[in-house]
Chain A
Amino acid sequence: DTGVSQNPRHKITKRGQNVTFRCDPISEHNRLYWYRQTLGQGPEFLTYFQNEAQLEKSRLLSDRFSAERPKGSFSTLEIQRTEQGDSAMYLCASSPGSFVDAGELFFGEGSRLTVL
Chain B
Amino acid sequence: QQQVKQSPQSLIVQKGGISIINCAYENTAFDYFPWYQQFPGKGPALLIAIRPDVSEKKEGRFTISFNKSAKQFSLHIMDSQPGDSATYLCAVKDNYGQNFVFGPGTRLSVLP
Contact = CB atoms under 8 A, between A and B. Distances in A.
The secondary structure that dominates the B interface is strand
A107 B105 contact: no
Contact of B105 (A33, A40, A102): A40
B112 interface: no
A105 B46 contact: yes
A106 interface: yes
Contacts of B89: 42-43
Contacts of A105: 34, 44, 46, 100
Contact of A107 (B6, B41, B45, B49): B45
Contacts, number: 58
A103 to B, nearest CB: 9
Interface residues of B, number: 24
Interface of B: 4, 6, 32, 34, 36, 41-46, 49, 89, 91, 93, 97-105
Given A56-B97, A101-B98, A110-B43, 5 more contacts: A40-B104, A42-B6, A42-B89, A56-B99, A107-B45
A19 B31 CA distance: 36
Given A40-B105, A42-B103, A42-B105, A108 B43 contact: yes
Nearest to B46: A104
